[in-house]
Every structure is written in C-alpha cells, then in structure tokens.
Structure 1
Amino acid sequence: MAVYTSISDEDLASFLAAYDIGDPVSFSGIAEGVENSNFMVRTTTGTYILTLYEKRVNPDDLPFFLNLMNHLADKGLSCPQPVRTRSGEMLSRLNGRPAAVVTFLEGIWHRKAMPVHCRALGTELARMHEMGKDFGMVRENSLSVNSWRPLLESCGAAADGVKPGLYAFLEAEIDYLEKNWPADLPRGVIHADLFQDNVFFLGDELSGFIDFYFACTDMLAYDLAICLNAWCFETDGSFNITKARQMITAYQAARSLSGAELAALPVLARGSATRFLLTRLYDWLNHPEGAFVKPKDPMEYHRKLSFHQSVTSSAGYGI
C-alpha cells in the first residue's frame, strides 16, 4: 500500500455519498507498499480502506481481484471484502482513478517474523489455495517468467549503476529460468504478494490476508516460494531454515505438495527472487516524484537470489 494520488475532504465526502456507510469522520494515507493509493477512512459506522488504483494496475483486472476477495471470504478466509455502492457496484471512480472501498481487517503485521508466524502462514496459505479451487475467474500472472526479460531491458544500462555487473547477472539468471521453468505443476488462485505487511496477526494468531492486487492464476507452489523469500531470511541476509521448515510442513499438513512441486521449489524460489529483484530495480530507477512511499532496496533480493542459486533440492529448505 502507498499514496500517490491525494484527495481532499470535499472529494471524500462526495465519493462516500454513493455508499451506505455513514459520513466521514477522518481519513489518513497509508504509506506502506508500492502499487496503489490507500487511505484509512473512519466513518460514523466504522473503519474502511479506500483504494485508488494507479496507472500500473490494469482496470480490466479489478473485477478479478474484487470477486476473488468476495469468494474467499464466503469460503471462510479472513480478508477484506469490497463494499458495494447503493446501486450495487464494487468499483467507482475518484480523482480520475478507479476506486473501491473494502472492509477493515483487525490486526497488525509483525516486522520480525518468528517460526510460529511462518507456521501459521503456511497453514493459511494452503487453506486459501484449497478455497480458490472453484473460483470461476482466471487471470494469468502478468509478472511471470515471460515478463522478466522485457522488464530487465526496460531498466537497461542503469541497472549497473545500482550494482556493477547487475544487468549481466540478471540476464544469465533469466536465461536459466526460461530454460528450466516448470510447465505442468498444479495451478490455481495465488496471492502472489504475501509479504509480512500483507499478513495480519492478533498476538500470534493469524487474523487475515490483505492486498490481493497481484493475485492471479499460477502454480500454487510458486506462491509458497514467494513466501519463503519474504519470510525466511533474516536482516543480515541469512536464510532461516527453521522458519522455512515450519512454513512448508504446515502447508503440507493442509495441502499435500506433490513430489514434482517439492523438486521444483529451488527454481521457483529463484524465479520469485528474480521477479522481486526486477520490479524493485525498476521502481528504484523510476521512482515517481512526490510519492509518499520510499522504493524498496532491490539488492535485498540480489542476496536472496544468490542463496537460492546454491540450493539443489528441497532439502535446502529443511524438507
């Protein structure tokens, strides 16, 4: 989450008049994240999140995201639910942007993940994958392996200004991934962005997932690989195998991973690290002036990718 587009008190009051959620009491921007403009809105009936979808989001994808949240909530996953206008619409417009209001999810995210949090995440991730089996919409992953080379080329020689030799390093990695990317693993709905700030807890109990705006149809094990990268490295760059083992075994208890999925974990983890290294690199080089959010360090994912390049089997993740 982040803020790129500002709104005035008058804009907000006019916008909320289309909803049956009371009058605005206060609102404030949410600075975390990288993709859309988000505001916490308190009204006379409760607390909500208002999202303005920025130019990087394809408006054609929004029905997938919003209907998915409804589907998962109906199945029992704790996640925000879109609020409909009085005329029944989940999508509106505000300040030239598509916009939606969703319910507020109680909880906080843990900046320092512990093994117990990784175990809870593994269980809930597998549950989400099972709940998504009968979701009727499909959205292909626009940030999968076929997008990585064009993304690197869009960064160009400026990549080497971040780290000398980075362009060639990434070019060689993409060569490897294009040749070795799995083609026939189980697929379904994945969140694709379950970083720590998108997973809420009440104490050590997981209270829900937020921010489904990268969700798509892809390999289920790829979602797990994204979580390994996001949750199982320490601030010094070291890989915490205890956290990884807790996450994967808890996932396995709720949804069994096939032998092919386990064998593919190292390449999926490399792909996940490459994806976030590239998007962070692009954002680092193309940071919009005036945005309230700081771009995230791409080199964090360079270090993670370098670790995964040394892993030859799922045993490297504690399995």
Structure 2
Amino acid sequence: MAVYTEVTDEELNGFIAGYDVGRLLSFKGIAEGVENSNFLLHTNKASYILTLYEKRVNPDDLPYFLNLLGHLAKKGLSCPTPVPSKDGKLLGTLAGRPAALVTFLEGMWVRRPRVDHCTELGKAMAELHLCGSDYEGFRKNALDVSGWRPLFEQCGGRSNDVHPGLDEDISGELDYLERTWPRDLPSGVIHADLFPDNVFFLGDRLSGLIDFYFACNDAFAYDIAICLNAWCFEQDLSFNVTKARALLKGYTGVRALTREEYDALPILARGAALRFLLTRLYDWLSVPEGALVTPKDPLEYLKRLRFHQTVDTAEAYGLVQ
C-alpha cells in the first residue's frame, strides 16, 4: 500500500477548503506507487489525485515537476494537470508533508504490452520530448552516469551476497560506461521512468502519461533506452525485437533521430540497464528486517545488461537508418 502518511478527516477537509474543487464525496488511498502517498478524491465536480510527497523526494524539486506538468498539458500532452489553490499556489502542506492536487487521468496500465502498445508509447514519448523543448525549468538527472558509482558504493560491497561475481560485473561495467558514455546528444526534458505502470491506455489508445517525479533534463535517446529495457523484454527476459522496432518506429514517426543518437543507442541501453540494476540492488540490500515491502529483483536487469553487451549497432533493436 503506497500510503505512508495517514490523513485525518479534519486535515483533509481543511486542505480541500483551500481549492475550488467542489464538495468532497469520497477519499481513498491508492495501493500502487512506491515513492509517495497517493489518494483518489471524488467531488461533486470531478475526480482528482492528491499526492503527499514523502522524505525521498527533494522538496526543492517539486516546482520543477509541477510546473512541467502544467507546461506539457498546455502544449497538448495528455498528463495530469496541477490544480492551483484559491490563492494560486500549486504546492501546499497536508499532514506535515508537501502536497499537491492534480486532475484525474482515465485509463489503465497494461501488464503485458503488445506491439501496438509499444508503437503508441514511442509516439507519446516523442511528443513529450517536443512539448518540453521550450520548458524553462532545469533539473539535472541525479541518476545519470555520474551518479551510478556513488550508488554502487552505498551498497557496501555486498553485491556478491545477491549474486556471485556481481561486484566484479558492476565494477567492470562502470569502468566501461564512464569511459565511453556519449556526450552532447540532443537533450531536453525526459520522463526517465516510463515503465508500463506510468503509461495509461483506454483499450488500444494511449490515454496519457503519469508520475513525472523522476523527470529531468538529459539526452532524449536515453529516455528511449530506458523504454527498450522496460517494454521490450518478455517474461523469460528474452528481447523482443518486434516490440523494439514498433517503439522506435512510433518515436521516429514524430521526432527523427540524429545519426549520433542512432549510434549511441546500444551504450545508452547498457547504461539504462545498469541504472535500474543499481537502484534495485540498493533497495534489495536496504530493506529492514520484517518490512512488508518486497523489493524488485535486481538480477532481472543484470540479464538485460548482458543482452545489451552483445549489441554493436541499433539495428539489433530493429532500427535501420
């Protein structure tokens, strides 16, 4: 259950009174999500999502995220839109936590993405990159290549407890990526966490993108690499080139890739696999005894990484330029 902070009726009513959203009809916690406390609100006017930002979120980053959502929505991207309070503020305080209200987005995420879902994702990701091109805010990617070694060091040399030889595998990959990571690729606002549970569909139609709380400024092609990892491997962790081709075709139909981006895709995909291997590894090693949370298996991303290590050109992902 992704509700870490409980909210009393009195606190909630006081908070909602500061917004012109109508009379509250119902209020319940949302089980999905791992970073913040989320609630679904129904009023006599509409439905909304109330988010309380927990301690892992830097409050200084919140204006970047909330203003970005408003900017993207004005540009026509389907995403939650922040609701301003009666005094025009997008961010308030509830139960001792920073809190914001956003519009409710209809749709469901798909547990087993099909090829047509991957095409729709590619289109929406390219639209996001174009819509955010003139966003004035800037946020450095805290989990870019410069952040991976410090994260690995926080694992305290216990990687081999998870899998024999994992420490050596990660150390060697870090050495390689730090030496060869591409620079000066076309960049701007990226989502950086477009996993299937952050992409909503109504039937076969993509209805919107959610959860922008890893959004940052980085290479557009890195966002593509994250999605190749998140959407194009099957349950047995075999790579589905048909899904990858569909994702890339959807993307390039909206925004063309430069030659440099094309050539960089294999190493970016390796980096994206290592990034999620490391965050999962850190979480796996950090769960306190008796906790009810089950961390995600880091070794799933080790297997993805090993696939990308065999790739020489983007043709392996179904993209021909």
User: For structure 1, which segment, 38-47 or 89-98, has the greater mean C-alpha deviation from structure 2 after superposition?
Assistant: 38-47
Residue of structure 1 equivalent to 2:58? 58
Q: 1:24 to 1:289 in 2, by over 3 A?
A: farther
- C-alpha distance after superposition, 1:18-39 (max 9, x if no partner): 1111233222222223211111
Alignment partners' CA distance in 1, 2:42 and 2:289: 28
Alignment partners' CA distance in 2, 1:163 and 1:33: 27
Residue of structure 1 equivalent to 2:177? 177
Residue of structure 2 equivalent to 1:186? 186
Residue of structure 2 equivalent to 1:4? 4
Number of residue pairs matched by the alignment: 319
- C-alpha distance after superposition, 1:170-201 (max 9, x if no partner): 11111111001111100010000000010000
User: What is the Cα-based RMSD across aligned positions, in Å?
Assistant: 1.6
| TM-score (ref. length: structure 2) | 0.95
Matches within 5 A, 1:47-196: 47-196=47-196
Identity %: 61
Alignment partners' CA distance in 2, 1:42 and 1:289: 37
Query: Which letter does structure 2 place at the counterpart of 1:242?
Result: T
Q: 1:292 to 1:22 in 2, by over 3 A?
A: farther
User: For structure 1, which segment, 164-173 or 100-109, has the greater mean C-alpha deviation from structure 2 after superposition?
Assistant: 164-173
Alignment partners' CA distance in 2, 1:310 and 1:21: 53
Residue of structure 2 equivalent to 1:248? 248
| TM-score (ref. length: structure 1) | 0.96
Alignment partners' CA distance in 2, 1:293 and 1:26: 27
**C-alpha displacement of 1:3:** 2.4
Check the 8 A contact 1:156/1:167 in 2, yes or no: no
**C-alpha displacement of 1:9:** 2.7
Q: Unpaired segments of 5 or more residues in structure 2? A: none
Q: 1:293 to 1:177 in 2, by over 3 A?
A: same
**C-alpha displacement of 1:221:** 0.3
User: For structure 1, which segment, 43-52 or 192-201, has the greater mean C-alpha deviation from structure 2 after superposition?
Assistant: 43-52
Q: 1:35 to 1:288 in 2, by over 3 A?
A: farther
Query: Which letter does structure 2 place at the counterpart of 1:278?
Result: L
Residue of structure 2 equivalent to 1:298? 298
**C-alpha displacement of 1:158:** 2.6
Query: Which letter does structure 1 place at the counterpart of 2:6?
Result: S
Check the 8 A contact 1:3/1:291 in 2, yes or no: no
